[in-house]
Amino acid sequence: MGITVEPWEQSRESAAQVYKWVTNLRAQLERYPGLVVEDKKYSVTIHHGAFRDNRVRQAIAAAVDALPNVRALAGRQAVNLLPRGGPHKGVALQRARIALACKAAIYIGDDDTDEDAFTSDDSDHLLAIRIGHSRTSSAHYYLKAQADIDALLWQLLTVRARRPSTVEPLRSAL
C-alpha cells in the first residue's frame, strides 16, 4: 500500500477552482514567452524565471489579483497560488507523519511555500530548517545552501550510529 500526501476528497472543489485559474492565467499571460503556468492540480505555480521587466511582474500581479479565493506565495523565480483555506505543505507533512506513525519529523525548505510546513507542529515534534537565512521565517534553524543538506544528514546518521538502540530487533515467531 502506498502513502499519499495528496489532499483528500474534500479538495475536489480546490482542484476545480485551480483548473479555472490555470485556464484564466494561461489566457492572460500567454503573450510573455518563457513564462510558464504550471497546473499542479491543487495549486498553480507561475514560473517567471529571471524576468526583470516590470511589465511582466505587473501583468502577473494583475492576473493573480483577478482570481477569486487565491492565496499567493512568493517563491524563487515563481509565484505559487493556493486556494485560501485549502491544503498546503504543512497539511501534507502532518498527513505523512500520521501515515508513517512518526512522532517527529525533519522538514527542510527553501522558500515561502515551506512556511506552512515550518509552522505545522511545535519544535518538540518538528525540526524546521530553512535553506538560506531569513529573519521572517518560522524555521528555527537554517542552512546556508542546498549542498549543506548532505552534511547535515551525515551528521544525523553519525550521531544515530553512536547511540545504542532502544528498539528491540524483530524476532521471528517460528
| Residue that the C-alpha cell 517527529 belongs to | 104
CATH fit for domain 9-83, picks 3.20.20.210, 1.10.10.10, 3.40.50.20, 3.30.70.1020: 3.30.70.1020
| Residue that the C-alpha cell 526583470 belongs to | 52
Report pLDDT for 24.
96
Q: Where do the DSSP E strands lie in 5-140?
A: 36-39, 44-47, 70-75, 78-83, 105-109, 126-131
Report pLDDT for 89.
87
pTM over 0.85: no
Report pLDDT for 172.
43
Distance CA 128, CA 92 (A): 15
Question: Which residue did the predictor score with more confidence, 77 or 166?
Answer: 77
Report pLDDT for 173.
45
Question: b vs e for 47-59, b when ≥16 Cβ sit within 10 Å of the residue's Cβ?
Answer: bbeebeeeebeeb
